[in-house]
Amino acid sequence: MINNMKNNFLTFALLGASALMMGGCQTMRTANFPNHDYNTVFKGAVSGLCSESKLLVYKADKQNGIIWVQGRGIFANPPETPIYLTKASDGSASARVTVQGMNNPWADRMMALISDGLPAAKQGVSKSRGKKTLGEETDTDLEKQQLELEKEKLKLEREKFEFEKQKRRSMKKQPKPEPEPESEQEEEAIE
């Protein structure tokens, strides 16, 4: 009786969770790429999304700016999802993805894959000499934070290397213990 109640509860909980995911709840993410042109963003998006083994990019329409992806697994990965790329008047591009489910992590994951597929932005004089927009400020702040994290990571790796180096040196300096004789006869033979 108790096992039957547990099974019923788990069944309804699973059905309720899947109904929420399949229902009206959606997660939408948008990213702007001000330092890249549309063609570069499109190529980078396709290559970045293709690098994920759990995703299948099965259609990429550059003219209309739509990349269709879907998960390779059942229920665990995202369903058929379009990613829209738009071209701004200044030549930069933006990407938008909407994935079914409330706070679905695949929306952020897809945006990260698109960003990872892009080459490093060229640093130089900006075309617009006016004030920076909010998106550009957050992009530069994010880049600064990423650089700081990389510096910290390198510093920790350097410290780890130095620690291992000191450990090896101390192991070499320690004298090796002499083997103890196994019996009294061997002790007499040594003396």
104 in any annotated domain? yes
Q: Which pLDDT value is given to residue 130?
A: 44
**164 and 77 housed in the same domain:** no
Is residue 29 within 8 A of residue 112, CB to CB? The reply is: no
Q: Which pLDDT value is given to residue 176?
A: 60
Q: What is the pLDDT of residues 34-92, one digit of tens each?
A: 888 899 999 999 999 999 888 889 899 999 999 999 988 776 677 889 999 999 888 88
15 torsion bin: left (phi>0), alpha (psi -120 to 50), beta (else)? alpha
Angstrom distance (rounded) from CA 105 to CA 88: 27
- CA nearest to 78, candidates 48, 102, 54: 54
Average pLDDT over residues 155-183: 75
The domain that contains 64 carries what CATH number?
3.30.530.50
Query: How many domains, the chain?
Result: 2
**62 and 110 housed in the same domain:** yes
155 in any annotated domain? yes
Q: Which pLDDT value is given to residue 131?
A: 47
Looking at 81, 98, 121, which one is the last position of a domain? Answer: 121
**163 and 79 housed in the same domain:** no
Is 132 a residue whose pLDDT tops 50?
Answer: no
**70 and 155 housed in the same domain:** no
Torsion angle, alpha carbons of 62, 66, 68, 69, to 10: 90
Residue numbers of the domain that contains 144 = 135-169
**82 and 147 housed in the same domain:** no
4 in any annotated domain? no
**31 and 68 housed in the same domain:** yes
**84 and 144 housed in the same domain:** no
Angstrom distance (rounded) from CA 96 to CA 75: 22
The tokens of 169 are what?
A: 């040196």
**38 and 115 housed in the same domain:** yes
pTM listed for this prediction: 0.51
Q: What is the pLDDT of residues 98-130, one digit of tens each?
A: 988 788 888 999 999 998 888 875 544 344 444
